[in-house]
Structure 1
Amino acid sequence: MSEDSNILKQEKEDLPQRKQPLLVLIGPTAVGKTRMSLDIAKAWNAEIISGDSMQVYRGMDIGTAKLPFDEREGIPHHLIDISEPEVPYSAADFQAGATQAISQIAERGKLPFIVGGTGLYVESVCYQFQFAEIGSDEAFRQEQERFATEQGAEALHARLSAIDPPAGERLHPNDLRRVIRALEVYHMTGQTFSEQQAGQTKVSPYELCIIGLTMDRAELYRRIEQRVDEMMEQGLVDEVRQLLNRDVPPAAVAMQGLGYKEIADYLRGDCTLEAAVERLKRDTRRFAKRQLSWFRHMNDIHWIDMGENFHNNLQTVHAIIAGKFQVNLEYTSNQSF
């Protein structure tokens, strides 16, 4: 090998390696992520990774607003229907699965594209959070479960809010497993879950482009209520009944999800259907508020107001992506990310 060749080889090795581009679309429930994600994926030669903590579960389609296979317009979707409802699926599980999917998508020359509204799940991948092996205290967990059974989920949630207000704001009282886990972390370490999260290093191994969708609060709430009505028309009650008939435990993580907890209470005779639906609408509005609260603490989000013209919004998104990744849209069909 000539001296010049050696010099060129060394110069190439010394060049900084470009980070893997990762596109992310976040926003509260019912804001319009699904529709926009399909248009973006088609334009940018992307494959979608679901960033929703509930869409991993099989047989839970209506209540999770899972996009039917025949409506995905040929775009591969990952981390959907990968776990049975009886089996808990954690943020650490999601991080591992999404990280693997990103590598595989990139190897195919496609753009990895996370779409979802579960803040911790998405952020854990974007910044490769370290999940500490804290362990568990089964006696403590059982004590909290008994307290929730006797005093109610709201009372247990109040315990968490008293010691860790940010976690209390983010977690729904029905999310019993995560509420108990947050209490357990404090019980075992003396440090709140929120303090541990705040200590995570927000340095990404990826070249991130994060798009956030938002809209007027009143319009978002109207869309949430409309979505709940549509879920009822599509057969949410039957979907929950089928899960209960197959003996999915009421305390399972999956059954604490929005729609499933409320309708299960109705099917057990604890409330009327009308009351269950109204509670579902209320809880979903509160969930959207918690989602926005989480996203406000994330870095480098390009916010798009979905109350404006959809076509103009889409063009704005394309311009943001092109500027971030320094790629012209017209060349993406042959672009290897």
Structure 2
Amino acid sequence: MNKVLFVVGPTASGKTSLALDLAPKINGVILNADSRQVYKGLDIISGKDIPDKAEFVKTENPTKNKKYNVGYYKFNSTPVYLLDLVTPTYEFNVYDYLDITIPTIDKVIGLDKIPIVVGGTGFYIKALLDGIATVNIPQDKKLRKRFEGLQIEELQKIIKKKDPEKFLKMNESDFQNKRRLIRAIEIAQYVKKVGKREGKIAKLENMSVLIIGLTATREIINERIDERVEKRITQGALDEAKKLFDNYKNLSEQVKTGGGYRDLFEYLKGNIALEEAVEKWKVTEHHIAKKQIVWFQKDKRIKWFDITENKFEIKVKKIIDKWLK
């Protein structure tokens, strides 16, 4: 049976480093699963860490979407796919992720290599593994524009009225996320109009999957985040934000609200001082890491490893070797 390896966990847990170490040992190819890193120009703040002299190698687009920039960067000898897929103005979503990732995984397997899906965007990973019944329900741009200006409390009332069942299933994170609330309203409207919720569920099928999860205490993860933010400021994060801010009006919501980008944009708008923006960026990343931990801990398929444990990588390699046999 074909095999797919996943490396997941909170931001700053060392997922990419581990994957890059494993890839040449297991004949692996890395596929990005970070919702910010799919964007061109979101390099430093999102933490792509592309090697200085790495060139983007274009490959054939296996989808009908001509807006995808399909190819890979080589990190040393390892190809890394699904970086720089779209421009910062493109509203990338989970449908797009499945659309490009599933055929890319098939391609990698066809080359007799092991796909290693690496990232912290739990929604994308869950969609790959389990599918999402509503993924094919199209976006309603008019509806989104109409509701974008509403407050979260107003959106909560609307979804409660339109889809009480969905309302009761939403968690606290869903309640406080404007994009998710609008999407829930969008789906409710579609179901009322068309009369059904589920479509064809796109997901990985007939695959042997191993999910490696990296973790540490909240204090250690937060320390690593703070160090990384300070490093990215010295690497030119502000200049990156300025380039994007020049086209702020046309940026996608994912970019405008992305961790680090939103905070530096507030500085560039003149709303806060740079020092405050940097501190807010750190706090934003802390919150993201907390949400990622909560999300992934629900998945009992994940094999967890503490990154502070001495030589934990050896244990990871052993469980992978056993899985590959």
- TM bucket normalised to smaller: 0.7 to 0.9
| 5+ residue gaps, structure 2 | 55-74, 161-166
Query: In structure 2, what is the equivalent of residue 258 of structure 1?
Result: 259
- Rg comparison, structure with higher value: 1
- 1:144 to 2:147 alignment: yes
User: Mean alpha-carbon deviation: is it higher for 68-77 or for 253-262?
Assistant: 68-77
Distance 2:171 2:187 in 1: 12
The answer to whether the 8 A contact 2:11-2:289 is kept is yes
Q: CA deviation at 1:247?
A: 4.8
The answer to whether the 8 A contact 1:126-1:205 is kept is no
Q: How does 1:1-337 map to 2 (within 5 A)?
A: 18=1, 20-70=2-52, 72-138=75-141, 140-148=143-151, 155=153, 163=167, 166-169=170-173, 173=177, 176-186=178-188, 188-189=190-191, 204-247=205-248, 249-250=250-251, 252-309=253-310, 312-326=311-325
The answer to whether the 8 A contact 1:144-1:156 is kept is no
Q: CA deviation at 1:166?
A: 4.5
Cα distance 1:145–1:246, how it changes in 2: closer, same or farther (>3 A)? Answer: closer
Q: CA deviation at 1:42?
A: 1.6
What is the alpha-carbon root mean square deviation over aligned residues? Answer: 2.8
Q: CA deviation at 1:47?
A: 0.4
Query: In structure 2, what is the equivalent of residue 193 of structure 1?
Result: none
Distance 2:309 2:185 in 1: 42
Cα distance 1:24–1:282, how it changes in 2: closer, same or farther (>3 A)? Answer: same
Q: CA deviation at 1:135?
A: 4.0
Q: CA deviation at 1:117?
A: 0.5
Cα distance 1:161–1:113, how it changes in 2: closer, same or farther (>3 A)? Answer: farther
Where 2:244 maps in the other structure, the secondary structure is helix
Distance 2:154 2:279 in 1: 23
Q: CA deviation at 1:155?
A: 5.0
Paired residues, what number? 292
Cα distance 1:168–1:134, how it changes in 2: closer, same or farther (>3 A)? Answer: farther
Give the AA of the match of 2:287.
Answer: R
Where 1:253 maps in the other structure, the secondary structure is helix
Q: CA deviation at 1:143?
A: 3.7
| 5+ residue gaps, structure 1 | 1-17, 149-153, 191-195, 327-337
